Amino acid sequence: MKKLVLIVIIHLLFVDCFAQPNNRGPYEAGWTSAILNRQGRTLNTIIYYPSFVEGSEAQIDTLHGPYQPIAFGHGFFMQNSYYISHFKHLASYGFVVIAPQFPDNNHFQLAYDLLYCVNYIKNQNSVPTSRFYNLIDLTKSGLSGHSMGGGASLLAAAYDSTITVVAPLAAAETNPSVINLMNQINGVVYLISAQNDGITPPPQHQIPMYNNGNPVKALPLIKGANHTKFMDTRIWDWTDPNGYLTAPQQLSITRKYLASVFNLFLKEDSSYFKYAFGNVAQSDTSIIFQYQLKPLKPKNFNLISPQGTLYQIEVTFLWHSTYSLNMYDQIKYELIVATDEQFNNIVLQISQLTDTTYTSQFQNGQYNAPTNIKSEENLPFEFLLTQNYPNPFNPVTTIRFDLPKNVSVKLTIYDMLGKELEAIVNGKLNAGSYEVKWDGIKYPSGVYYYRLLAEEFTETRKMILVK
């Protein structure tokens, strides 16, 4: 029996269909409140969610979902209730927005408050008595915030590599410095800013953040906008009299870009690419726009047929089409057929296919088509070493890394002088995503480094043990 082995490699894709983020989404907005406690810190939160009718304690829309959680942090000396128009707008697009009232101005703690709020919503997914039971997307989450809360949202994204996208408004520099930590953010960074901000001027705050960040990133600078008109209330406008936009104009532009980037990366709706990064954003005269993209891992690919044992000479291969959230990407399929699983005897190799079907003639014989081909969507697209979480930590932290292929791996811990302490991974691993815990119980407080070595890939990151 000859075995027929199929590999289809997806690289990139371009698609073209769009929606309208300026308008409210298809849902009404309901809201509730919750008092959370994180290590003695009381967080009075307001929560907005998609509902059948608008109102307090309204019935959540149980017909759709899952809904992605977004945590939002308010500005210095501000209230979480100052941003309700943003919360309602995002809820109308199918997001659950949780906004804590911070108990203090400790930026480090605020970051973990936001992460705690995201995880609270995710945990509600498994609580039968919760309105969010079985309605929350556990795979993706977002962060936002204004001024101090915006800076805290960036800190939180630097501390937690699982955050999908962070989109702050007029983000302020923090202590510890988020400008210095921007390269530790694994998710998408979307820095909505005000050209005439007199409190967190972009040259001292958002522009250095953008410059130090990794792609995918963007800096939409709203022309004529100031610092305070990101809020619904006007009682603080005297603190920043700069800018010429009216509050309704600035709020409308802000909601447009918030809805665009969250729909693109949390809903994975590529129709919003045009508004978040594409030609609409680039030609929008209301903003000054900077952005940087990279090729993104394609979505939703898998083999449909053939399956099982084949007896026919003519074989038609059929697979699901795929797409990328970066619409500047282009797709390429590669079809390789061999008579052995090691691909020593290749009988067909076709590159740069653009269709999702291909028919070929083979020699007489019995071929066995695979029945358990793994979708490329389930495998990492590139080598990646993410920031440990939590960081700082005491005494256990988690290190995550991705391998796009089978490879020999060494993950090593070093002290701040570069002395090797231990190798917590050392051996050959299959392609996939891995999480490894490191316990620093026997080591003193201080700065440590971890390095991943995998063939041609090597990367080192810093972590802080605090006891």
pLDDT at residue 2, rounded to an integer:
41
Contact 335, 348 (CB under 8 A): yes
pLDDT in tens, 142-163: 999 999 999 999 999 999 888 9
CATH number of the domain residue 158 falls in: 3.40.50.1820
- Grade residue 11 by pLDDT with cuts at 50, 70 and 90: very low
Q: Residue 438: what residue type?
A: W
Q: Are residues 6 and 137 in the same domain?
A: no
φ and ψ at residue 225, rounded to 5 degrees = -90, 155
Helices (H), 160-213: 178-181, 206-212
Q: Are residues 37 and 181 in the same domain?
A: yes
- Grade residue 369 by pLDDT with cuts at 50, 70 and 90: very low
- pLDDT at residue 372 greater than cutoff 70: no
pLDDT in tens, 109-127: 999 999 999 999 999 999 9
Rounded Cα distance, 276 and 223, in Å:
17
What's the chain's length in residues? Answer: 467
Q: What percent of the chain has pLDDT over 90?
A: 63
Residue with tokens 């707008």: 89
- pLDDT at residue 188 greater than cutoff 90: yes
pLDDT at residue 364, rounded to an integer:
61
Largest interatomic CA distance in the chain: 83
CATH number of the domain residue 448 falls in: 2.60.40.1930
The DSSP annotation for 300-340 comes to S--EEE--EEE--SEEEEEE---B-SSTT----EEEEEESS
In a domain, 292, yes or no: no
pLDDT at residue 1, rounded to an integer:
36
Token pair recorded at residue 441:
């119980």
Contact 402, 384 (CB under 8 A): yes
Q: Are residues 342 and 402 in the same domain?
A: no
Token pair recorded at residue 398:
């988690």
Rounded Cα distance, 188 and 177, in Å:
19
In a domain, 196, yes or no: yes
Q: Are residues 9 and 123 in the same domain?
A: no
Q: Are residues 419 and 306 in the same domain?
A: no
pLDDT in tens, 71-83: 999 999 999 999 9
- Grade residue 355 by pLDDT with cuts at 50, 70 and 90: confident
Position with higher pLDDT, 418 vs 343: 418
Contact 50, 61 (CB under 8 A): yes
Position with higher pLDDT, 302 vs 59: 59
The most confident of the ranges 9-18, 104-113, 401-410 is 104-113
Rounded Cα distance, 22 and 257, in Å:
8
Q: Are residues 47 and 147 in the same domain?
A: yes
- Grade residue 356 by pLDDT with cuts at 50, 70 and 90: confident
pLDDT at residue 406, rounded to an integer:
86
pLDDT at residue 197, rounded to an integer:
97
Rounded Cα distance, 77 and 233, in Å:
13
Contact 302, 375 (CB under 8 A): yes
In a domain, 277, yes or no: no
Residue 80 DSSP class: G
pLDDT in tens, 394-430: 899 999 898 888 889 999 999 988 889 999 999 988 8
In a domain, 287, yes or no: no
pLDDT at residue 379, rounded to an integer:
66
Rounded Cα distance, 351 and 360, in Å:
14
In a domain, 22, yes or no: no
Residue with tokens 């090797």: 420
Burial of 273 (0-12, 13-18, 19+ CB in 10 A): buried
pLDDT at residue 15, rounded to an integer:
33
Rounded Cα distance, 36 and 156, in Å:
18
Tell me the CA distances in angstroms from 386 to 7, 186, 295, 390, 417, one per residue in order.
Answer: 28, 7, 18, 12, 22
Q: Are residues 183 and 250 in the same domain?
A: yes
Strand partners, 389: 398
- Strands of the sheet containing 308-310, edge to edge, are 2-3, 367-369, 308-310
pLDDT in tens, 382-396: 888 988 888 888 899
As a whole number, mean pLDDT of residues 241-245 equals 95
Number of domains present in the structure of the chain = 3
In a domain, 48, yes or no: yes
Q: Are residues 249 and 309 in the same domain?
A: no
Per the structure, the complete domain to which residue 68 belongs is given by 28-268
